[in-house]
Amino acid sequence: MTLAIFDLDNTLLAGDSDYLWGRFIVKHGLVDAEQYEATNRHFYEAYQRGELDVHAYLRFALEPLTRYPAEELHAWRALFIDEMIRPIVLKAGEELVRDHARRGHVTMIITATNRFITAPIAELFGVDHLLATTPEFRDGRYTGDFVDLPTFREGKVQALENWLEAQQDRPRQSWFYSDSHNDVPLLEQVTNPVAVDPDDTLRALARERGWPTISLRH
């Protein structure tokens, strides 16, 4: 197996789907605008600094899913994809995924953004597999909790390892494309780490370690 792994937010997308979902549910009145917007921004800035408490963030991010029936949430999600995600899909990102697929590589998105948001986005890119934090769904409703481990920082490494063990196969070659210093733990595990439109911290580290740096935006 040859494996091509992609981060999602600010890598294949020209924006952060998790943050944009927060903006979307504020815009459409699904949560209290002032309070939610401020907290959403606080967590996003903590993520950018590398200081995110992922468990606290998930409690915040998944709570709105408990307020509405699943059918209504899925209808809002479809509108969100059309309004806020399709416009930021990077064409060069789509082509990069297709190029790996044409070469016979297994394609995968690993993202810290929860599966409720990212499952339809992964479908847009046509990847073979998605590893993402999974909201708990019980008795027809979202509970506000999550199952297994958050796919964030070292959690991405563990989620990939769990997946590989289930496949009973190890990649001979592997790529991981990411914009964020939060993904260094997984970038260090693959044979071909690639920094994509990286933040300043990752750009400096990529230069130091000789990792290639590319842009999907220009």
Could you list the active site residues?
Answer: 7, 9
Q: What is the DSSP string of 167-194?
A: HT---SEEEEEES-GGGHHHHTTSSEEE
Alpha-carbon distance of 195 to 86, in angstroms, equals 23
Whole-number Å distance between alpha carbons of 106 and 129: 8
User: In angstroms, rounded to a whole number, what is the distance separating the alpha carbons of residues 42 and 104?
Assistant: 41
Answer whether 5's CB lies under 8 Å from 190's CB: yes
What is the longest distance spanned by two Cα atoms in the chain? 50
Phi, psi (5° rounding) for residue 28? -95, 10
Q: Which is nearest to 23 in space by CA: 1, 38, 11, 9?
A: 38
Please report, to the nearest 10 degrees, the dihedral formed by the alpha carbons of residues 121, 124, 126, 131 taken in order: 0
Residue that has been written with the tokens 């409690």 in this structure: 59
**Tokens coding 192:** 């071909």
- Report residue 175 CA to chain centroid gap: 16
